[in-house]
Chains A and B, each alone.
Chain A
């Protein structure tokens, strides 16, 4: 795939997170977007619908529901077009079925979830970070997933490109887990010129091979992709399949297939994991957060430092895979980790698992509708560092 840069913006802009996701997608070479209106993600689809004609080869289709959106982006990806959809909690639930199909067929695509408060219809217009475990485990069956968490419009732009690159490299759906506040806030966004953008394209199958097998990996973990029309008359299925892509529902075929699907993420975890840390060197306590909450968490860390407490800050950029190695190291160093997230305890469970009893792990809970106040974080910090 060659990136068509027609209509791609560059320069400095004042834009919302949702708009920045759309621009990130356009810059990354996404040329198919299947959308369905849902607050607070609608603006992504609106921006795409407005801007795609300027790229000349972009197509926005408004689907009948999110089941359809997820199905359509998989089909488009198998036609060789970088594809994306954006939604929020209720729509994300509907996408889980075909997300699993994307994992099983090894289909590059990006799904953005602008999280709002739940459960159910909950708080359509207000913030939440309550789909983090759904992002990890929402579709049935065993799989690994990649989920990125932007905390600003600039990161919405940058991480959308990163999400496409990761999805192309590992041939898997990648989740962009933003939230209502990040999606709706306006900030400065720098869009570099196309030649400064790092692009990763899926490894395509060479044409004209004699004994081509769709899912042959030649000792690697990610197969080269032959798409529709390449002349291989591929067969692709959500059933357990052999190297030819043919259904073979036996444990003998299932075990190596699922192991490879999981391993292509697990064994590359050091290349995939992204995080940021501040003031961790001398820290006796870490405030761990992600997305919009990380901005309050960082503020709380600075306030604690003003009080003379040795507090550090750790931000998940990839919630999944979780930066297990580094968090384990920090857990051995500190007295406690305080997790700041807008839910009643999701990533805190993973943190607790990884800390494995090496330090105390506490949650600053928040059922949603607003971000934390720094004081709410500090009061939890005081439970460990009085």
Chain B
């Protein structure tokens, strides 16, 4: 007979603020999976945990900073990136990771996203895209697909949604990938690659919001949403960025789209970039 050892601690507990659990996320929310992949990516990565800081904005994903047992900052809506810029330049040896949502990073924080990418600060961004503002009860987001219903687009969205990978790639991000929370191994690896990549790296994480987005659009339960990812995701590394537009309940192209080398902001400031070029 196999004796199952009782254990009170989860092996990942040391990287979580267990004294803050249970978390606020709904059942079948994708953010927990994204955090789980993140924890695994940190463990896999060679960067010491003491040298990692997490900065979040506001929203459901904005709460990530509050659950990871790392130096963590929960800032204002949209301003995680500027805060991260200051923290990164003050502590250049630390790896500063911004973990936030699509509304926070692309709408209210859109300007900061553009220019942090353009300057190529050595900052990693994990952007959970659930197509909706969750924390406030399910409103139209910059990522809400055309015709999708939200509480503030009750007749279907009339807006063209943002193609986030194309946006950050256009501004010069050195690493750009997209995965769903179904792709836990690939997502974890992408997170690790992004963390280890010097410069502005960006991973879009497509995640289900069963409570609000799926309910409003009658898309079914969390399981059904994951099944949708399974049936409708196509892995296409190096895809044409124009093909990454997301349409309502249509194909989701995942993969690594950008992985280039470019001197970081601080290397440029210190004149190290020229030395590198000469060498």
Contacts and interface: CB of A to CB of B under 8 A. Distances in A.
Interface of B is mostly: helix
Nearest to B91: A79
Contacts of A357: none
B94 A72 contact: no
A70 B83 CA distance: 8
A228 interface: yes
| Size band of the interface chain A makes with B | 35 or more
Nearest to B15: A233
Contacts of A238: 74-76
B82 A71 contact: yes
A210 to B, nearest CB: 15
Interface string B85-110: 11111110110000000000000000
Nearest to A78: B87
A68 B111 CA distance: 9
A238 B112 CA distance: 19
A73 B79 CA distance: 12
A74 interface: yes
A73 B51 CA distance: 20
Candidate in B84, B86, B89 with the most chain A CB atoms within 10 angstroms? B86
Contacts, number: 137
B50 interface: yes
A246 B67 CA distance: 10
Contacts of B50: 229, 231
A63 B121 CA distance: 12
A228 B73 CA distance: 9
Given A75-B55, A229-B71, A235 B86 contact: no
A32 interface: yes
Contact of B115 (A68, A83, A234): A68
Given A64-B114, A83-B86, A231-B50, A71 B75 contact: yes
A237 interface: yes
A11 to B, nearest CB: 29
Given A81-B90, A237-B66, A246 B85 contact: no
Contacts of B74: 235-239, 247
Nearest to A235: B72
Contact of A71 (B72, B79, B94): B79
A233 B75 contact: no
Contacts of A194: none
A70 B269 CA distance: 21
A72 B91 contact: no
Contacts of B82: 34, 63, 67-72, 75
B69 interface: yes
Contacts of B218: none
A138 interface: no
B70 interface: yes
B100 to A, nearest CB: 13
Given A229-B71, A237-B74, A65 B111 contact: yes
Given A71-B79, A233-B71, A228 B91 contact: yes
Nearest to B20: A246
B265 to A, nearest CB: 8
Contacts of A78: 73, 83, 86-87, 90
A122 to B, nearest CB: 24
B17 interface: yes
Nearest to A82: B90
A232 B90 CA distance: 17
A52 B233 CA distance: 50
B53 interface: yes
Contacts of B84: 75
Contacts of B73: 75, 78, 228, 235-237
B51 A229 contact: yes
B176 interface: no
Interface in B27-83: 50-51, 53, 55, 65-66, 69-76, 78-79, 81-83
29 contacts: A34-B82, A34-B85, A61-B89, A64-B111, A64-B112, A64-B114, A65-B111, A68-B82, A68-B115, A71-B112, A72-B83, A72-B85, A74-B86, A75-B85, A75-B88, A76-B86, A78-B83, A78-B90, A81-B90, A83-B86, A97-B76, A98-B79, A101-B75, A101-B76, A229-B71, A233-B69, A235-B74, A238-B74, A247-B74
- The 9 A-B residue pairs with the shortest CB-CB distance in the complex, in nearest-first order: A79-B90, A75-B86, A71-B82, A76-B86, A72-B86, A237-B74, A75-B87, A75-B83, A68-B82
Given A64-B114, A228-B71, A228-B94, 12 more contacts: A70-B82, A71-B85, A71-B112, A75-B82, A75-B86, A79-B87, A101-B79, A228-B53, A236-B74, A238-B74, A246-B19, A247-B74
Interface of A: 32, 34, 59, 61, 63-65, 67-81, 83, 97-98, 101, 228-229, 231-239, 246-247
